[in-house]
């Protein structure tokens, strides 16, 4: 080390070196704390996504949740009904192109369609002004939990036991017992059957959002896509087809486009906007904002929905997130999942290698 020419006494220099070392240490430790490396108990997006992988396996290139799905293309015809509440261009009368994706929850892209009673619809509306509205909706009226911490606890409880390959019923039971907010969801699940078609389902935003009008007035909302198709799914694939949802969708689209109505429910003051386990009372005002028309489907491995992150907080001016704590957690976790799967597509070093489940090695 260079010996400074200034004749300082050793104590002064020890003091100076200590000061320098302290400054560096304080900066490094605060950085480590803020970045989570020194705060191991904080729930991070990485932990959530790791847990999704622990539960379902790691399938390189696929979404870490809702891994099995198909792309759909079409458009949204706005009737102007939501325009008084939101300045979003998508609600002006007229047409907005849409790239969407139907899926089933779970991280296994080869899971049979009958393995869960839930279906999902994700949409990306590309406004002419370059802004976008992305939304991911599920076919149930309530979410099991209200917070990311509870969602994480639920995933942990449902992690398959290595001995049986199935979740431990005692752990699952203990989770639901400790989380009474799951009651509404459990009641729904009791009556829910895996549907034979994506086309006949309702899809709920579950999370609340905020519409902002031209005067900056904010109105809390939730939305739902209500299907025109109402039959029980006569086009369902032949018995033994684990991928009947995709074949049903293709068969229906071959006959003509599929339609849904975008129903926007306006909250009354005091309705909970931060709790996706609670529905709003039935008498809340609902407006029909227009019609979603889906015309084509493409496989997800090559289709245009593959590389879209349906982050629910990618929103145009006129739509904003609410205080629902699930929203930022979704946004953060989807970004992490998106980075993993695109890194795998890019074959970056250190990324997961494809892992085939037993069912697919037939």
Partner 1 sequence: MKTDPNTFTLAARVLHWLMAVLIVAMLFIGVGMVASVSERHEWLLAIHKPLGIAILILAIVRLAVRLRHPPPPLPADLPAIQKLAALASHWLLYFLMLAMPLIGWAMLSAGGYPVMLGTSLRLPPIFPVSPVAFAVLRQLHGGFAMLLFLTFLAHMAAALYHGLIRRDGVLPSMLRGRKTVPALIGYTDPPAAEGTNEVDTERTD
143 interacts with, out of partner 1, ligand HEM, none, CB within 5 to 8 A per kind: ligand HEM
Phi, psi for residue 91 in degrees, rounded to 5: -95, -5
The whole-angstrom distance between residue 42's C-alpha and the CA centroid of its chain comes to 21
Exactly one of 2, 8, 41, 66 is catalytic; which is it?
Answer: 66
Out of partner 1, ligand HEM, none, which partner does residue 323 contact, by CB within 5 to 8 A per kind? partner 1
Residue (35 or 97) nearer to partner 1, CB: 35
224 in contact with ligand HEM (CB under 6 A): no
- Rounded Cα distance between 77 and 96, Å, is 7
If one asks whether residue 262 binds ligand HEM (CB under 6 A), the answer comes out as no
DSSP-derived letter for residue 49 is H
The Cα 49–Cα 53 span in angstroms is: 6
**Tokens of residue 147, six digits:** 């917070």
With binding defined as CB under 8 A, does residue 306 bind partner 1? Answer: yes
> Is the CB of 82 or the CB of 212 nearer to partner 1?
212
Nearer residue to ligand HEM within complex by CB, 75 or 102: 102
- Tokens 């909302």 found at: 221
Q: Copy the structure tokens of residue 159.
A: 């992690």
Asked if 257 and 221 count as a contact pair (C-beta separation under 8 A), the reply is no
19 lines the binding site for partner 1 (CB under 8 A): yes
Given the rule CB under 6 A, which of 26-34, 190-198, 326-334, 345-353 is the region that contacts ligand HEM? 326-334
Contact criterion met (CB below 8 Å) for 295 and 73: yes
Site for partner 1 in 333-362 (CB under 8 A): 333, 335-336, 338-339, 342-343, 345-346, 348
Torsion of CA 232, 234, 238, 242, to 10 degrees: -40
Q: Which residues pair with 212 in a beta bridge?
A: 218
Contacting positions for ligand HEM (CB under 6 A): 48-49, 52, 63-66, 69, 101, 103, 120, 122, 136-138, 143, 148, 151, 206-207, 276, 309-310, 326, 329-330, 332-335, 337-338, 341
List, by residue number, the catalytic residues. 66
């Amino acid at each position: 080390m260079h010996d400074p020419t200034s004749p300082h006494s050793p104590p002064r220099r020890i003091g100076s070196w200590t000061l320098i070392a302290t400054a560096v240490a304080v900066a490094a430790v605060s950085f480590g704390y803020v970045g989570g490396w020194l705060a191991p108990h904080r729930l991070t997006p990485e932990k959530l996504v790791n847990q999704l992988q622990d539960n379902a396996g790691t399938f390189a290139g696929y979404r870490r949740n809702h891994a099995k799905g198909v792309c759909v293309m079409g458009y949204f015809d706005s009737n102007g009904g939501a325009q008084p509440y939101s300045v979003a261009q998508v609600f002006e009368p007229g047409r907005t192109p849409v790239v969407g994706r139907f899926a089933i929850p779970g991280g296994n892209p080869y899971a049979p369609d009958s393995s869960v009673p839930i279906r999902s619809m994700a949409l990306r509306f590309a406004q002419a002004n370059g802004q976008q509205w992305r939304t991911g909706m599920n076919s149930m009226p309530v979410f099991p939990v209200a917070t990311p911490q509870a969602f994480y606890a639920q995933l942990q409880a449902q992690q398959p036991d290595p001995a049986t390959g199935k979740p431990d019923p005692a752990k699952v039971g203990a989770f639901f017992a400790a989380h009474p907010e799951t009651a509404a969801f459990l009641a729904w699940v009791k009556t829910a059957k895996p549907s034979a078609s994506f086309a006949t389902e309702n899809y709920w935003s579950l999370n609340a959002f905020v519409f902002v009008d031209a005067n900056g007035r904010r109105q809390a909302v939730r939305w739902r896509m209500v299907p025109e198709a109402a039959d029980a799914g006569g086009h369902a694939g032949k018995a033994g087809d684990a991928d009947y949802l995709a074949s049903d969708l293709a068969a229906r689209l071959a006959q003509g486009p599929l339609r849904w109505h975008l129903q926007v429910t306006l909250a009354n003051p005091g309705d909970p906007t931060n709790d996706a386990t609670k529905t709003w009372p039935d008498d809340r005002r609902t407006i029909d904002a227009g019609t979603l028309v889906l015309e084509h489907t493409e496989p997800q491995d090559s289709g245009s929905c593959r590389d879209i992150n349906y982050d629910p907080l990618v929103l145009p001016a006129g739509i904003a997130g609410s205080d629902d704590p699930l929203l930022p957690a979704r946004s953060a976790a989807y970004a992490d999942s998106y980075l993993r799967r695109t890194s795998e597509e890019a074959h970056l070093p250190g990324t997961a290698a494809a892992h085939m489940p037993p069912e697919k090695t037939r």
